[in-house]
Amino acid sequence: MMIKTRITELLGIEHPIVQGGMMAVGTADLAAAVSNAGGLGIITALTQVTPADLAKEIRRCRSMTNKPFGVNLTLLPTINPVPYDEYVQVIIDEGVKVVETAGRSPEQYMAAFNEAGIKVIHKCTSVRHALKAESIGCAAVSVDGFECAGHPGEDDVPNMVLLPCAASKLNIPMLASGGIGDGRGLAAALALGADGVNMGTRFVATVEAPVHDNVKQKMVDSTELDTALIFRSLKNTARIFRNQVAKEVLEIEGRDGQTDFADLQPLVSGVRGRERVLQEGDTDDGVWTAGLVMGLIYDIPSCEVLISRMMSEAESIIAQRLSGMLLESA
């Protein structure tokens, strides 16, 4: 059996499963593994230090898969300015066909993407932003509920409500994002009106994710209670792993008066998280992004095993468990 949806049709993929952009994790290795397993893998543009590095990474991905894959372009304020126009040009020149945008509206790049025949999936955390994405010509949206790793926004609406709210207003296909890690989540997302799922955290705990084994094992050992919401005081909330550094950040944010980002900066440095945690494997010595779905992570499979297991689980829920509950009314 197979599950065919508007997302599998739109993206030309076998299974309605997308791997969301992940800073320092979304390299060609992971993206190719997800695409080879029948999902859509996504390379994270800004993990590549320069636009020229991104061009090389796209080619490296192409050498590992002949299936479709995409590129994530995260449009967030940064301390050092990012040459976004150059990254966009590389994406176009390298013939990428799907882009996941996030952070803010991709409006200024839509004309260029459309002209190049690139399908834009905009990832956002509210119905209003999803409708805006539809109105500017995005091909699909990823709707990130409050459960998600990374930036859940400030509305705090979990997917059980957010997805059906968005589905009843949108015409374009929608991916459910945040809190999904198995076939139960996939079947539920489809029932709530989504056309597929986007996953981040679950893909970090796979064989092919380019992070230290300690990080993967920490995810297996942790539960849905092990995340923290930092930067609430700055209205730029981020869901991360609740370790010692996260607790220090929360303690500073909890002090009286306005939080000064300068006090947090040494603790939350992206470089520190990437080097000390993701590469060297000290899961307590920096901030790292993780979602509630850790409560559903029990192993470290290959992407192929993970995706095929999710598909057969979702198929059997739909074909057996749910349809078995239907009775002819008397």
Ligand X SMILES: Cc1cc2nc3c(=O)[nH]c(=O)nc-3n(C[C@H](O)[C@H](O)[C@H](O)COP(=O)(O)O)c2cc1C
Q: Are 27 and 56 in contact (CB under 8 A)?
A: no
Q: Are 99 and 121 in contact (CB under 8 A)?
A: yes
In the complex, what is the shortest distance from the CB of residue 55 to ligand X, in angstroms, rounded to a whole number?
19
Residues of span 33-62 touching ligand X by CB under 6 A = 44
Q: What is the CA radius of gyration of the chain?
A: 19
Binding mask 6-25 for ligand X (x = CB under 6 A): --------------xxxx-x
CA distance linking residue 165 with residue 298, whole number of Å: 31
**CB closest to ligand X, residue no:** 200
Of 48 and 177, the one with the shorter C-beta distance to ligand X is 177
Of 46 and 264, the one with the shorter C-beta distance to ligand X is 46
Q: Note whether 185 binds ligand X by CB under 6 A.
A: no
CA distance linking residue 61 with residue 91, whole number of Å: 13
Q: Note whether 163 binds ligand X by CB under 6 A.
A: no
Q: Note whether 273 binds ligand X by CB under 6 A.
A: no
Q: Note whether 222 binds ligand X by CB under 6 A.
A: no
Between 303-316 and 28-36, two packed helices, what is the crossing angle to 10 degrees? 40
Q: Note whether 218 binds ligand X by CB under 6 A.
A: no
Question: What are the two backbone dihedrals, phi and then psi, of residue 199, each rounded to the nearest 5 degrees?
Answer: -125, 145
In the DSSP assignment, the letter for residue 145 is -
In the complex, what is the shortest distance from the CB of residue 2 to ligand X, in angstroms, rounded to a whole number?
23
CA distance linking residue 269 with residue 274, whole number of Å: 9
CA distance linking residue 211 with residue 282, whole number of Å: 11
Cβ neighbours for 109, distance < 8 A, ≥ 6 positions apart: 73, 84, 88, 101
**Segment contacting ligand X by CB under 6 A, of 147-155, 265-273, 300-308, 315-323:** 147-155
Q: Note whether 283 binds ligand X by CB under 6 A.
A: no
CA 49 to chain centre: 20
Q: Which of 3, 163, 204, 268 binds ligand X (CB under 6 A)?
A: 204
Q: Note whether 233 binds ligand X by CB under 6 A.
A: no
In the complex, what is the shortest distance from the CB of residue 154 to ligand X, in angstroms, rounded to a whole number?
16
Q: Are 167 and 136 in contact (CB under 8 A)?
A: no
Task: For residue 201, give both structure tokens.
Answer: 């955290």
Of 106 and 254, the one with the shorter C-beta distance to ligand X is 106
CA proximity to 85, closest of 57, 122, 54, 61 = 54
Q: Which of 147, 182, 195, 208 binds ligand X (CB under 6 A)?
A: 147
Q: Note whether 208 binds ligand X by CB under 6 A.
A: no
CA angle 189, 191, 195 (to 5 degrees): 60
Of 154 and 263, the one with the shorter C-beta distance to ligand X is 154
Q: Is residue 107 within a helix (H) or strand (E), and if so which, with residue range?
A: helix 107-115
Q: Note whether 228 binds ligand X by CB under 6 A.
A: no
**Segment contacting ligand X by CB under 6 A, of 53-61, 84-92, 246-254, 283-291:** 283-291
* Count of residues near ligand X by CB under 6 A: 29
**Segment contacting ligand X by CB under 6 A, of 82-90, 106-114, 285-293, 316-324:** 285-293
Using CB under 6 A as the criterion, which residues of the chain lie in contact with ligand X when the complex forms?
20-23, 25, 44, 72, 74, 102, 123, 144, 147-150, 177-180, 198-202, 204, 289-291, 293
